[in-house]
Amino acid sequence: MNMFKTLFLICSLLISTAFAAVNINKASAEDISKELKGIGIVKATAIVSYRDKNGPFKTKEQLTEVKGVGLKTVEKNRDNILLK
Protein backbone atom coordinates (compact mmCIF):
# COMPACT_ATOMS: atom_id res chain seq x y z
CA MET A 1 0.00 0.00 0.00
CA ASN A 2 2.89 2.39 0.70
CA MET A 3 4.13 1.97 -2.87
CA PHE A 4 0.76 3.15 -4.22
CA LYS A 5 0.74 6.20 -1.96
CA THR A 6 4.26 7.08 -3.06
CA LEU A 7 3.38 6.60 -6.73
CA PHE A 8 0.26 8.73 -6.31
CA LEU A 9 2.27 11.48 -4.64
CA ILE A 10 4.89 11.47 -7.39
CA CYS A 11 2.23 11.62 -10.12
CA SER A 12 0.46 14.47 -8.34
CA LEU A 13 3.68 16.45 -8.13
CA LEU A 14 4.47 15.88 -11.79
CA ILE A 15 1.03 16.99 -12.88
CA SER A 16 1.02 20.08 -10.68
CA THR A 17 4.42 21.21 -11.96
CA ALA A 18 3.64 20.59 -15.63
CA PHE A 19 2.57 24.21 -15.94
CA ALA A 20 4.32 27.13 -14.28
CA ALA A 21 2.80 30.38 -13.12
CA VAL A 22 2.78 33.20 -15.65
CA ASN A 23 2.26 36.93 -15.21
CA ILE A 24 -0.42 37.74 -17.78
CA ASN A 25 0.38 41.44 -17.52
CA LYS A 26 3.99 41.01 -18.62
CA ALA A 27 4.37 37.69 -20.43
CA SER A 28 4.62 37.23 -24.17
CA ALA A 29 1.93 35.36 -26.08
CA GLU A 30 4.35 32.45 -26.46
CA ASP A 31 4.90 32.21 -22.70
CA ILE A 32 1.19 32.50 -21.94
CA SER A 33 0.32 29.74 -24.41
CA LYS A 34 3.08 27.52 -23.03
CA GLU A 35 2.11 27.91 -19.38
CA LEU A 36 -1.69 28.00 -19.35
CA LYS A 37 -3.88 24.96 -20.02
CA GLY A 38 -6.32 25.38 -22.89
CA ILE A 39 -4.67 28.58 -24.15
CA GLY A 40 -3.06 28.21 -27.55
CA ILE A 41 -1.10 30.85 -29.39
CA VAL A 42 -4.23 32.41 -30.95
CA LYS A 43 -5.92 32.98 -27.57
CA ALA A 44 -2.63 34.05 -26.00
CA THR A 45 -2.16 36.63 -28.76
CA ALA A 46 -5.69 37.88 -28.09
CA ILE A 47 -4.83 38.19 -24.38
CA VAL A 48 -1.74 40.29 -25.19
CA SER A 49 -3.75 42.44 -27.66
CA TYR A 50 -6.46 43.02 -25.06
CA ARG A 51 -3.81 43.96 -22.49
CA ASP A 52 -2.16 46.38 -24.92
CA LYS A 53 -5.50 48.10 -25.69
CA ASN A 54 -7.01 48.13 -22.19
CA GLY A 55 -4.09 48.15 -19.79
CA PRO A 56 -3.11 45.49 -17.28
CA PHE A 57 -5.57 42.92 -16.02
CA LYS A 58 -6.80 43.79 -12.53
CA THR A 59 -8.48 40.45 -11.81
CA LYS A 60 -8.11 36.93 -13.15
CA GLU A 61 -11.79 36.94 -14.10
CA GLN A 62 -11.15 39.90 -16.42
CA LEU A 63 -9.57 37.37 -18.80
CA THR A 64 -13.10 36.31 -19.72
CA GLU A 65 -13.44 39.61 -21.57
CA VAL A 66 -10.98 38.24 -24.13
CA LYS A 67 -12.79 36.48 -26.98
CA GLY A 68 -12.39 32.73 -26.63
CA VAL A 69 -11.44 32.71 -22.95
CA GLY A 70 -14.19 31.47 -20.68
CA LEU A 71 -14.59 31.16 -16.94
CA LYS A 72 -13.81 27.41 -17.07
CA THR A 73 -10.41 28.19 -18.61
CA VAL A 74 -9.73 30.81 -15.93
CA GLU A 75 -10.73 28.38 -13.17
CA LYS A 76 -8.58 25.62 -14.65
CA ASN A 77 -5.57 27.98 -14.59
CA ARG A 78 -6.35 30.06 -11.50
CA ASP A 79 -3.27 28.93 -9.57
CA ASN A 80 -0.96 29.59 -12.53
CA ILE A 81 -2.20 33.10 -13.39
CA LEU A 82 -0.27 35.96 -11.84
CA LEU A 83 -1.24 39.62 -12.06
CA LYS A 84 1.86 41.19 -10.52
Q: Compute φ and ψ for 23, nearest 5 degrees.
A: -85, 105
pTM of the model: 0.78
Closest CA to 78 of 37, 48, 47: 37
Cβ atoms of residues 73 and 39 within 8 Å:
yes
Mean pLDDT of the chain: 89
Q: Please state the rounded mean pLDDT for residues 61-80.
A: 96
C-beta of residue 61 within 8 angstroms of C-beta of residue 70:
no
**pLDDT at residue 18 in the model:** 59
Supply φ then ψ for residue 39, to 5 degrees.
-115, 110
pLDDT band at 20 (very low <50, low <70, confident <90, very high): confident
